[in-house]
């Protein structure tokens, strides 16, 4: 228990009135020598060098404690310092375990509202403000100032001196600095001695003490205002008065000249951050290099394992496992390429092993693979299934392709021993399986090989070997696809593809009002091809865009020539969903075309099929709008061909509708069809759409359409598609002069 020093002081005062001064002096000397005459002082410890904890022994030291210790020594008292647990000095005043608290600048109320009493000045502490680099507080009276929570008493003094100032208290100095950097406050306030310590922190290099002292605060001790505390403070004032200026300056100089600031881990990291960054980079690079080497080693190991799994060790061809993966990869990468899988077998291979020797037989197998890999492209694959059985995935060849394969691969293999001087021809039997569209969707390599193997067994039974096809119909279809699509680029160069025009008429006035551009192909080997044959195949192989670009170019050339001749004509061209998917900026392609050939957008009408719109493709709708912005008229083609939805008429942003006349081709329900057509046209008129009927084949159809106010028509009744030379000599003013 702490002896109540306050009661003793009162007793000493009473005794001094009774006893003589010498006895009083001896009594004081006795009290000073006793451990009971100790003053307990509550202090904050976060204000180095004013008050702080010595790291060497954990004692509380600093300018303030040292001056108070001198004052107490002057009057014969001991002093003990305790670190405050309270958030502020105002709270500490209410703690009865302290005799006094330090430092106070003036008399303040405690946290509970009690008055306090303070001693004389131990010293004056100049308060200065700190700002961020480049900032300056021009008017301190209206500034926001950040201070420590433990300085609440000093904050009250500051606010009494500067009524318009706003003080914001923070738990510690780190939070004060963070608030300053975030512009939550204009400046921080503390005494200059503390700043000399705090600003040694490397990361605070951007903070600067303003040169002008804002004010000086008395550095005092204090306690609650009670009679006992008044006597204690009065006694302490005697000791304070005995401190000379020389002593005071010596203490201040001693603590302010010490290198008290000690770097923590964060300080070292900040001060030497560039070194640490470089070291970190080096460490990361070394680690990455190590990981890269490990990854490379792992990949090499995996590749070696994969090589053993995926490739035949004797011939270098794929293994069965590798062939499965390669076929899947090629079919996914080339979905429009017609492929075949062949299963190949050397007849009487056992005889070759016995007569020529196993080494020679192995050399034959390696030779076969070597010649095959020289011939096949990277879009094809070959595998050794087992023994003398080989599987090949290759592009479906035409007649010339078969001859080339026979010459470059099979003939050298068949004559392998003959060329070595042995009178023996190697016989090969092959089974061919032509891949179907289903095979590209659901890839089952084993199933395809089983089909090819069945065909090979049939070929194996023949005397000379040769080949057999498993699915002859698919073979013929694939050959046709190869003939058409494989010849397309040549057809373009040799001008085999022509643009024909089918006139569009106004049946009421008898005038030709335009035409639709169609294409015809005079194949050098197959002759004239129907669009129904080659267009689906070009769509399947992704070549339809190239065909359409060719048609658009030719049409624009023709329109340009007619313009120069003084004939203004309007031509409709087809734009498919495939074109838009191939060229996301197709509208710009059309814009470039009309600029190149100096024609008006109105002379090139663009037809997009109704089925393409039915796919609800957002890109298609955007493209339509872009074409219209340029000035093109966009028509929905084939309306009524099977995808019709009346809701489309309100949602699709087209200018016109091309009505498919499929309704009137139904002779069994002709009257009902007429009613449907009549009401569709009525809706189109009410919706302000332009419209034209296509597929008009009889006079009855034409007369019916004119009776329901559909005058624009296209169809065989008027004209069939014709070469440009025939189209140009038509009588555009009178369709009655047309040839029949």
Closest residue by Cα to residue 586 from 539, 557, 641, 544: 544
Q: 503 and 435 in one domain?
A: no
Residue 32 has pLDDT above 50, yes or no: no
> What pairing do the DSSP bridges indicate for beta strands 511-523 and 527-529?
antiparallel
Residue 34 has pLDDT above 60, yes or no: no
Q: 493 and 467 in one domain?
A: no
Residue 616 is predicted with a pLDDT of 55
Helix 358-375 / helix 349-356 crossing angle, nearest 10 deg: 120
Quickly count: other Cβ atoms within 10 Å of residue 323's Cβ.
26
Q: 107 and 70 in one domain?
A: yes
Task: For 155-198, write each residue's pLDDT tens digit.
Answer: 888 888 888 899 999 988 889 999 999 989 988 988 888 888 88
Q: 684 and 571 in one domain?
A: yes
Alpha carbon distance 548, 546 (integer Å): 6
Residue 652 has pLDDT above 80, yes or no: no
Q: 399 and 262 in one domain?
A: no
| Residue 179, both tokens | 């608030």
Could you tell me if 71 and 239 are in contact, meaning their C-beta atoms sit under 8 angstroms apart?
Answer: yes
Query: How many domains are contained in the chain?
Result: 3
Residue 28 has pLDDT above 60, yes or no: no
| Residue 71, both tokens | 């004052």
Q: Does residue 297 lie within any of the structural domains?
A: no
Q: 649 and 529 in one domain?
A: yes
Residue 21 is predicted with a pLDDT of 37
**CATH number (domain holding residue 198):** 3.40.190.10
User: If you count them, how many residues does the chain have?
Assistant: 740
CA 326 → CA 361, 369, 434, distances in Å?
Answer: 27, 16, 17
Residue 399 is predicted with a pLDDT of 64
Residue 609 is predicted with a pLDDT of 78
Q: What percent of the chain has pLDDT over 70?
A: 91
Q: Mean pLDDT of all residues in the chain?
A: 85
**CATH number (domain holding residue 436):** 3.30.70.270
Q: 556 and 433 in one domain?
A: no
Residue 740: pLDDT band with limits 50, 70, 90: low
> Any idea what the Cα angle at residue 628 is, between residues 625 and 633, rounded to 5°?
125
Alpha carbon distance 448, 434 (integer Å): 9
Q: Does residue 302 lie within any of the structural domains?
A: no
Q: Across-strand partners of 533?
A: none
* b (16+ CB within 10 A) / e for 159-190: eeebeebebebbeebeebbebbeeeebbbbbb
Q: Does residue 32 lie within any of the structural domains?
A: no
More confident residue, 365 or 478: 365
Task: For 502-546, write each residue's pLDDT tens digit.
Answer: 999 999 999 999 999 999 999 988 889 888 888 888 887 788 999
Residue 79 has pLDDT above 90, yes or no: yes
Residue 352 is predicted with a pLDDT of 87
- Which range has the worst mean pLDDT, 2-6, 231-235, 604-608, 659-663? 2-6
Q: 517 and 641 in one domain?
A: yes
CA 368 → CA 67, 179, 317, 384, distances in Å?
Answer: 105, 81, 10, 11
Q: 492 and 568 in one domain?
A: yes
Q: Does residue 323 lie within any of the structural domains?
A: yes
Residue 268 is predicted with a pLDDT of 79
Closest residue by Cα to residue 639 from 589, 587, 584, 710: 710
Q: For residue 198, which phi and psi values (nearest 5 degrees)? A: -60, -40
Residue ranges in 487-576 assigned as alpha helix (H): 488-493, 531-540, 544-565
Could you tell me if 197 and 261 are in contact, meaning their C-beta atoms sit under 8 angstroms apart?
Answer: yes
Residue 475 has pLDDT above 80, yes or no: no
* CB neighbour list of residue 369: distance below 8 Å, 6 or more residues apart: 315, 316, 317, 382, 384, 390
Residue 391 is predicted with a pLDDT of 93
Could you tell me if 717 and 697 are in contact, meaning their C-beta atoms sit under 8 angstroms apart?
Answer: yes
Residue 356 is predicted with a pLDDT of 87
Residue 17 is predicted with a pLDDT of 40
What is the pLDDT averaged over residues 234-261?
Answer: 89
User: Residue 21, Cα to own-chain centre: how many angstroms?
Assistant: 92
What is the pLDDT averaged over residues 677-704?
Answer: 90
Residue 14 is predicted with a pLDDT of 41
Residue 142: pLDDT band with limits 50, 70, 90: confident
> What pairing do the DSSP bridges indicate for beta strands 497-506 and 466-469?
unpaired
Q: For residue 52, which phi and psi values (nearest 5 degrees)? A: -160, 175
DSSP assignments along 362-429, one per residue:
HHHHHHHHHHHHHHS-TT-EEEEEETTEEEEEEEPP-HHHHHHHIIIIIHHHHTTTGGGT-S----EE
Q: Does residue 465 lie within any of the structural domains?
A: yes
More confident residue, 727 or 26: 727
The residue with tokens 């069939």 is 720
Greatest Cα-to-Cα distance within the chain, rounded to the nearest angstrom: 155
Residue ranges in 258-319 assigned as alpha helix (H): 265-271, 273-310
* b (16+ CB within 10 A) / e for 555-568: bbebbbebbeeeee
Alpha carbon distance 119, 220 (integer Å): 6
Residue 8 has pLDDT above 60, yes or no: no
Q: 673 and 562 in one domain?
A: yes
Residue 61 has pLDDT above 90, yes or no: yes
Task: For 37-55, write each residue's pLDDT tens digit.
Answer: 899 999 999 888 989 999 8
* CB neighbour list of residue 565: distance below 8 Å, 6 or more residues apart: none
DSSP state of 436: P
Q: 245 and 104 in one domain?
A: yes
Could you tell me if 384 and 390 are in contact, meaning their C-beta atoms sit under 8 angstroms apart?
Answer: yes
Q: Does residue 77 lie within any of the structural domains?
A: yes
Task: Give the residue from 425, 455, 484 where a domain finishes.
Answer: 484
What is the pLDDT averaged over residues 577-583?
Answer: 88
Closest residue by Cα to residue 659 from 711, 618, 727, 719: 711
Residue 275 is predicted with a pLDDT of 85
Q: 592 and 456 in one domain?
A: no
| Residue 214, both tokens | 């804002």
What is the pLDDT averaged over residues 638-643?
Answer: 68
**CATH number (domain holding residue 561):** 3.20.20.450
Q: Does residue 14 lie within any of the structural domains?
A: no
What is the pLDDT averaged over residues 332-354?
Answer: 88
Range of the domain at 157: 37-266
More confident residue, 429 or 669: 429
618 by Cβ neighbours in 10 Å (0-12 / 13-18 / 19+) ranks as exposed
Task: Give the residue from 231, 266, 301 where a domain finishes.
Answer: 266
Quickly count: other Cβ atoms within 10 Å of residue 379's Cβ.
13
Q: What percent of the chain has pLDDT over 90?
A: 43
Q: Kindly calculate the radius of gyration of the chain based on its CA atoms and give it in whole angstroms.
A: 52
Task: Give the residue from 266, 289, 324 where a domain finishes.
Answer: 266
Q: Does residue 298 lie within any of the structural domains?
A: no
- Report which secondary-structure segment, H or E, holds 691: strand 690-694
């Amino acid at each position: 228990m702490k002896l109540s020093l306050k009661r003793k002081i009162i007793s000493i005062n009473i005794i001094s009135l009774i006893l003589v001064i010498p006895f009083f002096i001896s009594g004081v000397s006795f009290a000073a020598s006793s451990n009971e005459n100790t003053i307990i002082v509550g202090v904050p410890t976060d204000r180095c060098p004013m008050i702080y904890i010595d790291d060497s022994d954990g004692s509380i030291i600093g300018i303030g404690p040292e001056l108070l210790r001198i004052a107490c020594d002057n009057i014969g008292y001991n002093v003990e310092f305790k670190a405050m647990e309270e958030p502020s000095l105002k709270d500490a005043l209410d703690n009865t375990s302290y005799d006094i608290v330090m430092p106070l600048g003036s008399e303040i109320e405690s946290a509970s509202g009690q008055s306090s009493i303070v001693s004389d000045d131990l010293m004056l502490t100049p308060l200065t403000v700190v700002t961020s680099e480049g900032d300056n507080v021009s008017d301190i009276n209206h500034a926001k100032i950040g201070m420590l929570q433990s300085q609440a008493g000093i904050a009250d003094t500051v606010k009494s001196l500067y009524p318009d100032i706003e003080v914001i208290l923070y738990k510690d100095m780190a939070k004060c600095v963070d608030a300053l950097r975030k512009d939550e406050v204009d400046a921080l306030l503390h005494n200059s001695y503390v700043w000399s310590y705090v600003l040694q922190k490397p990361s605070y290099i951007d903070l600067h003490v303003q040169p002008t002292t804002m004010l000086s605060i008395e550095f005092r001790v204090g306690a609650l205002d009670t009679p006992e505390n008044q006597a204690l403070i009065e006694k302490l004032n005697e000791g304070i008065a005995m401190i000379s200026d020389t002593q005071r300056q010596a203490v201040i100089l001693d603590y302010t000249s010490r290198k008290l600031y000690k770097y923590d881990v964060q300080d070292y990291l900040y001060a030497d951050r560039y070194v640490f960054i470089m070291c970190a980079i080096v460490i990361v690079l070394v680690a990455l290099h190590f990981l890269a080497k490990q990854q490379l080693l792992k990949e090499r190991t995996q590749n070696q394992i994969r090589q053993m799994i995926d490739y035949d060790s004797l011939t270098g061809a794929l293994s069965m496992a590798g062939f499965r993966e390669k076929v899947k990869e090629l079919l996914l990468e080339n979905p429009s390429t017609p492929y075949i899988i062949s299963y190949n077998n050397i007849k009487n291979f056992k005889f070759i092993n016995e007569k020529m020797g196993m080494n020679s037989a192995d050399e034959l197998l390696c030779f076969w693979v070597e010649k095959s890999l020289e011939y096949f492209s990277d879009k094809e694959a070959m595998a050794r299934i087992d023994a003398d059985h080989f599987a090949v995935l290759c592009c479906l060849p035409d007649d010339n392709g078969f001859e080339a394969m026979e010459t470059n691969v099979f003939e050298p293999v068949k004559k392998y021993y003959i060329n070595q001087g042995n009178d023996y021809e190697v016989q090969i039997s092959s089974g061919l399986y032509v891949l179907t569209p289903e095979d590209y969707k659901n890839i089952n390599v084993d199933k395809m090989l089983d089909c090819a193997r069945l065909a090979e067994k049939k070929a194996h039974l023949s005397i000379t070997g040769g080949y057999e096809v498993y699915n002859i119909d698919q073979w013929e279809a694939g050959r046709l696809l190869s003939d058409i699509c494989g010849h397309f680029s040549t057809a373009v160069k040799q001008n085999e593809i022509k643009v024909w025009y089918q006139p569009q008429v106004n049946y009421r006035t008898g005038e030709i009002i335009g035409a639709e551009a169609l294409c015809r192909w005079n194949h050098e080997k197959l002759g004239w091809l129907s669009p129904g044959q080659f267009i689906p195949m070009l769509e399947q192989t992704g070549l339809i865009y190239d065909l359409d670009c060719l048609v658009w170019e030719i049409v624009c050339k023709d329109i340009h020539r007619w313009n120069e001749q003084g004939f203004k004509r309007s031509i409709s061209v087809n734009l498919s969903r495939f074109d838009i998917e191939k060229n996301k900026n197709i509208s710009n392609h059309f814009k470039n075309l009309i600029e190149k050939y100096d024609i008006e957008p109105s002379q090139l009408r663009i037809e997009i099929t109704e089925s393409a719109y039915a796919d609800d493709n957002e890109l298609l709708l955007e493209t339509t709008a872009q074409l219209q912005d340029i000035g093109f008229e966009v028509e929905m083609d084939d309306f009524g061909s099977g995808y019709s939805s009346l809701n489309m008429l309100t949602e699709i942003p087209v200018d016109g509708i091309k009505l498919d006349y499929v309704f009137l081709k139904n002779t069994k329900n002709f009257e009902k069809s007429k009613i449907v057509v009549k009401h569709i046209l009525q809706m189109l008129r009410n919706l302000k759409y332009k419209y034209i009927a296509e597929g008009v084949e009889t006079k009855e159809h034409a007369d019916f359409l004119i009776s329901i106010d559909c005058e624009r028509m296209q169809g065989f009744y008027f004209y069939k598609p014709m070469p440009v030379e025939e189209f140009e000599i038509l009588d555009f003013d009178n369709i009655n002069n047309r040839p029949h």
